[in-house]
Structure 1
Amino acid sequence: MQTKIAIQGVKASFHEEAAIKYFGGDIETLECDSFKQTCEMLKHGKADYVVMAIENSIAGSILPNYNLLRDYRFHIIGEVHLNIQQNLLAYPGVKLEDIQFVESHPIAIRQCDEFLSDHPNWTIKEGMDTAACAKKIADEKLKNTAAIASALAAEIYGLHILEKRIETNKKNATRFLILANEVTEQKNANKASLSFQTGNAVGSLAAVLQCFAEQNVNLSKIQSMPVVGRRNEYDFYVDVEWKKQAEYDAAIRKVLKHTVNFSILGEYIKNEKV
């Protein structure tokens, strides 16, 4: 039986590419309209895993997904980095001068702002997913609309690539998290995602960060999110990396003394291959 992976988007989306990169080609991808729907699929056992984008090297953190991590409390069992190459796709036979509308996911649009600024006469429309916008052009045979999506989307939906590699920064990469309902122990884990709250006293957060520094545990990311309904209170989400397990364990013991609502969201193997 194939492993079922819930993804936001449709076939040939970057989420499906990330799923294949992590799990291999022998998987069944479950297409979802939203990230929340992917979480519901996992929660109710209809999917084995969720692949969820969490940050992009150009557009930054995908903040709503941190709320989903908080609300669903799934376990992060891995990560995958995907080099994002954006292309301008159109229906076969359509030329650049025929384009009036360009449609894609908001983050993909932001990634290509330099290219789009060279075409001020185009109307930019936001869609739910890069590949879904490509599929719409193919299904509806749109002759005045282009989509920003991957080369795989062009291949799958039979579209023509008008312009290749239109992303502003060629080192454009997205980091995806692999989420599961159950904890699976990762041998040789060297990275963890944690969440916690601190007090409002001066230096509260600094004290926590110092605990990691003293144990040679590297802080690779920190993200704050307001605690809903509580003024001046924040959840902190941090990613840490270590070389010696004992140093990480010691850091966690120290951090527990300075935090409340501390949670290990996942311990896994660092992945940087783009």
Structure 2
Amino acid sequence: MNIKVAIQGIKGSFHEEAAYKYFGDQIETVECESFKKMCELLKQGKVDYIVMAIENSIAGSLLPNYNLLRDYRFPIVGEVYLHIKLHLMALPDVTLQDIKFVESHPIALQQCNDYLEENPQFKVTEAEDTAASARKVSELQLKDTAAIAPQLAAKLYGLEIVERRIETNKKNYTRFLILTSKPEERGKVNKASLSFQTGNGVGSLSTVLQCFAEQNINLSKIQSMPVLGKRNEYDFYVDVEWKDQADYDAAIRRVLKHTSNFNIMGEYMKNEKV
């Protein structure tokens, strides 16, 4: 029985690509129109895992997803970095000269802005999803329209890539979190996602960060989010990495003394960018 993994968007999207990269291709992906829908399916036990984008090297953090992490409190059991490569694709035998319309997700269009400016003959249209644009071109047999989408979408919907790697920034990565409904027994781990609050006193956050530094713990990310309904109070979300488990354990003991609502959201193996 295949593992069921919920993805945001449709088959052929970057979320599906990330799911295959983490789990391999022997999984069943379940399409969801929103990140909240993914969380609901996991809560209801209809899927085993969800793959959730959390930050992009160009666009930054996906702040609404931090709210979902807070609200659902699913354990984080892994992460995957995906190199975002965008291609112009169309029906077989369609040439660049045949293309009058180009459509894709607004962020994908933004990430291909230089290419689109170099080709002002295209009329550009925003769509809900990169892969959905590819599927539309395929299903409606649009010979004058191209989609900007990942290579997986071209393969899935029978399109041919007319122009490869049209994204402006070639070092564009998205980080995805792997979430499940129940904590799993983990082997070796070297990264954790934590959340906590600190007091409002001068240097209160600095004191916490100093605890990590003095135990040789690398702070790879910090994100603050306002506490709902409370003025000047914030939840801090941090990702930490370590080489020595004892250093991490000692840092956690120290940090607990200087924080409130401390939560280990997940401990897992760091995934290197590829």
Flag whether TM exceeds 0.5 (same fold).
Answer: yes
Q: Which amino acid is the alignment partner of residue 204 of structure 2?
A: S
Q: Which amino acid is the alignment partner of residue 60 of structure 2?
A: G
CA distance in 1 between partners of 2:71 and 2:123 (Å): 36
Do 1:59 and 1:110's aligned partners in 2 also have CA atoms closer than 8 Å? no
**Equivalent residue for 2:118?**
118
CA distance in 2 between partners of 1:104 and 1:152 (Å): 15
Q: Which amino acid is the alignment partner of residue 68 of structure 1?
A: L
**Equivalent residue for 1:85?**
85
Shift of 1:27: 0.7
User: Are 2:101 and 1:101 aligned?
Assistant: yes
Do 1:53 and 1:176's aligned partners in 2 also have CA atoms closer than 8 Å? yes
Q: Which amino acid is the alignment partner of residue 132 of structure 1?
A: A
- Secondary structure of the equivalent of 1:132? helix
Shift of 1:145: 2.8
- RMSD, aligned α-carbons: 1.6
Write the deviation string for residues 204-256 of structure 1: whole angstroms up to 9, x where unpaired: 21111111001100000111122222222221111000111111111111111
Q: Which amino acid is the alignment partner of residue 163 of structure 1?
A: E
CA distance in 2 between partners of 1:7 and 1:154 (Å): 18
Shift of 1:49: 0.3
Q: Which amino acid is the alignment partner of residue 5 of structure 2?
A: I
> Is the deviation greater in 100-109 or in 14-23?
100-109
User: Are 2:262 and 1:265 aligned?
Assistant: no
Q: Which amino acid is the alignment partner of residue 194 of structure 1?
A: L
> Is the deviation greater in 122-131 or in 9-18?
122-131
- Secondary structure of the equivalent of 1:6? strand
**Equivalent residue for 1:136?**
136
- Secondary structure of the equivalent of 2:28? strand
- Secondary structure of the equivalent of 2:102? strand
**Equivalent residue for 1:14?**
14
Return the TM-score normalized by structure 2.
0.94
User: Are 2:197 and 1:197 aligned?
Assistant: yes
> Is the deviation greater in 166-175 or in 119-128?
119-128
Do 1:59 and 1:111's aligned partners in 2 also have CA atoms closer than 8 Å? no
**Equivalent residue for 1:168?**
168
After superposition, residues 1-274 of structure 1 pair within 5 angstroms as: 1-274=1-274
CA distance in 2 between partners of 1:117 and 1:242 (Å): 44
> Is the deviation greater in 207-216 or in 114-123?
114-123
Stretches of structure 2 that go unaligned for 5 or more consecutive residues are: none
Q: What is the aligned residue count?
A: 274
Q: 1:253 to 1:123 in 2, by over 3 A?
A: farther
> Is the deviation greater in 211-220 or in 106-115?
106-115
Q: 1:98 to 1:266 in 2, by over 3 A?
A: same
CA distance in 1 between partners of 2:204 and 2:100 (Å): 53
Stretches of structure 1 that go unaligned for 5 or more consecutive residues are: none
Q: 1:94 to 1:231 in 2, by over 3 A?
A: farther
> Is the deviation greater in 143-152 or in 114-123?
114-123
Write the deviation string for residues 177-227 of structure 1: whole angstroms up to 9, x where unpaired: 110111113211100001111222221211111110011000001111222
CA distance in 2 between partners of 1:258 and 1:145 (Å): 57
CA distance in 1 between partners of 2:95 and 2:239 (Å): 45
> Is the deviation greater in 121-130 or in 264-273?
121-130
Shift of 1:58: 1.8
Shift of 1:100: 4.0
- Secondary structure of the equivalent of 1:11? coil
Q: Which amino acid is the alignment partner of residue 233 of structure 1?
A: E
Do 1:33 and 1:128's aligned partners in 2 also have CA atoms closer than 8 Å? no
